[in-house]
Chain A
């Protein structure tokens, strides 16, 4: 018997034109939480998919309990006791929670699905996880955090011995992450081995006992978490040292650009007021579902507020759709790059010029030559790592995709740039670059609203911080008075009260 519950040796996976994994290795001890880290594109997700049988490696061997295994498909892995919770919840939005949990291994008697047994079983699992929703609820109506919980319940329902969590905290707020940590502890106590992928160092320190780092499709090393420092890890992941993470420049704060007064939309947010000045970065934080995104969406005309007023440079705005907002100089860079930010199958150039193509067109006809020049300039101005402007957006890493999204905003005279979770799922190196761009924009006199759940990011970049909770603004802090604790208190205010009853 091997001491490892799972061991992979010399794994190589080739996609058309790309070596996604190059001779990597990995060992998992029974009952340990093992962090897997690396920049985006380092091959972590592919590696996970090799373990779970979704992809088949060209070379290499995998051992489970010392036995060589060869998974033909996800089903084999499931049966072997390996379950994965993927980065984007792979749920069925139209089906109930119980069905999501039991998909593929329903409780069946005489070829009949036993619904009541399934609901009961699912509720039992959810209770264990301390969930606040019923197994009969429709998946699509749950929050991202709740959906993640369902995914974990799903992994547990298969009695998995190895659970892989792929960036589980990426879309979770702090308190939700805390809940997840407790859950992982709980699983560990039950003897489950866990592979944990995350960009957040705090996750790793809190949970993992060992960490394996991948870089550029290669195995870099495995280190015990005790005694390793951020700097060491970053160096291992990025291959170089990052000196300043949050390059906040000193900027002269200008006049007030955007003012929002008493904005309300039933069911989403109520009576929200704030303002942002030129050269200022206004941080907006709070739990996911606190209504941050919904507020800025209403400001930009993506949805419509029922009450309240929006002023730009003291002029009242009546915005019905994003096009109006852009006309006035307000642009929202949405959170979901793949669905809302970019057209993934299109070339970078076209993506960048999409909001502005009307500006330089001649008689409604597109000026191709000018478009190419403009798009190259824009892409270079945010330092996008790309070969040419024709390559599809899907070929870029997350960080570079985010840069392209930012470049879209720079093609025209903008006054207010709203960034919704600009560093979500972006690796450390790209994050730093992103912050640099943000600082540069502030320097140029843009008013910036930064929505983020990441506390260090908010504290590091924002001049002022608006905290929201459950659809209301619960506080506004200046940079020097803000601390993690105060922000947490404010963002939990209502939630805390609700939890009490």
Chain B
């Protein structure tokens, strides 16, 4: 019953391996371009990936129960466009109200997705594919067929993205708050653990009195909430609302989670993993132009690197499994 040594716990944990990969990436990139590892550059890294990072938390919840959500960026566009248009035509102003509206729209969108998945048993990929089309179309429709809300139309709303609080950009604070909250939520609350339970063994969860359907509904609503938040962030950070914002961005969020060790079949994944996964992805994307890879080749490298990271992870896992077996006494 002796406790594992600290060293063994670190090498045995997936998160530690990911952190190692991230540190390696940092060192390599800094070697190419020393301006990468400066506080302002790192802040910018988080700020420019805040949307993906925040939404990776929702995707974590969704993937924990074995689901997937590819409608998120449409929800983001719908909620972002909605507040953009409301601000543009002066129905609302300020910072807080648009955030609340965007989040509310996100919650409603996510709730609908959750209803269809939990109550009508539609496989998540199909349901969210449908909603991907639906919400994106609604985003277009509310934009009056293609109006944009630009920086000047947004008024003071986007100021939060340039304001600093205690030396850190407010956007980064939002990301930090989200991660701290979810770390607490997933680890320390009953509801958080219920999400893990449902993902780990839905039948068992049902038998032990957990309402599996409601948990599923909940995770998709959380995902919607974060998509709404993402919409407000997107509009704020880039001071611009367009109906085709972040088209295709859902795949980045999914990739971030998978890199972070979140299992697509459910049950496995941590908030730290989601954080490291999205940071690794963000670093890859940011680093490619910095290390001198030509514009045209960047996408290829991004794809190859994602593949390499997940494959290396698998290989490391295999090696550590094999070592664990070898250590077994015969």
Contacts and interface: CB of A to CB of B under 8 A. Distances in A.
B330 A104 contact: no
A93 interface: yes
B208 to A, nearest CB: 5
A112 B188 contact: yes
A267 B196 contact: no
Interface residues of B, number: 30
B122 interface: no
Given A94-B268, A471-B330, A106 B193 contact: yes
A181 interface: no
B317 interface: no
A86 B330 contact: no
Nearest to A106: B190
B1 A94 contact: no
A92 B207 contact: no
Nearest to A104: B208
A132 B1 CA distance: 7
Contacts of B184: 112
B156 interface: no
A94 B200 contact: yes
A133 B1 contact: yes
Contacts of B196: 92, 94-95, 99
B321 to A, nearest CB: 9
A90 B196 CA distance: 14
A112 B197 CA distance: 17
B201 A91 contact: yes
A134 B1 contact: yes
Interface in B202-222: 203-205, 207-210
B326 A103 contact: no
Interface residues of A, number: 34
A86 B204 CA distance: 10
Interface string A50-81: 00101000000000000000000111001000
A470 interface: yes
Nearest to B269: A94
B164 interface: no
A140 B275 CA distance: 25
B267 interface: yes
B296 to A, nearest CB: 42
B328 interface: yes
A44 interface: no
B324 interface: yes
Contacts of A103: 193, 197, 208, 210
Given A104-B208, A104-B209, A95 B197 contact: yes
Contact of B201 (A73, A74, A92): A92
Contacts of B268: 94
B96 interface: no
A93 B203 CA distance: 12
Contacts of A104: 208-210
A363 interface: no
Contact of A86 (B200, B207, B209): B207
B189 A113 contact: yes
B208 A112 contact: no
B200 A92 contact: yes
Contacts of A73: 209
Interface string A236-280: 000000000000000000000000000000111110000000000
Interface of A: 52, 54, 73-75, 78, 86, 90-95, 99, 103-104, 106, 108, 111-113, 115, 132-134, 266-270, 470-472, 498
24 contacts: A73-B209, A74-B207, A78-B209, A90-B203, A90-B204, A92-B197, A92-B267, A93-B267, A95-B196, A99-B197, A103-B193, A103-B208, A104-B208, A104-B209, A112-B188, A112-B189, A113-B188, A113-B193, A266-B322, A267-B324, A267-B325, A267-B327, A471-B328, A498-B329
5 closest A-B pairs by CB? A267-B325, A90-B204, A92-B200, A75-B209, A94-B267
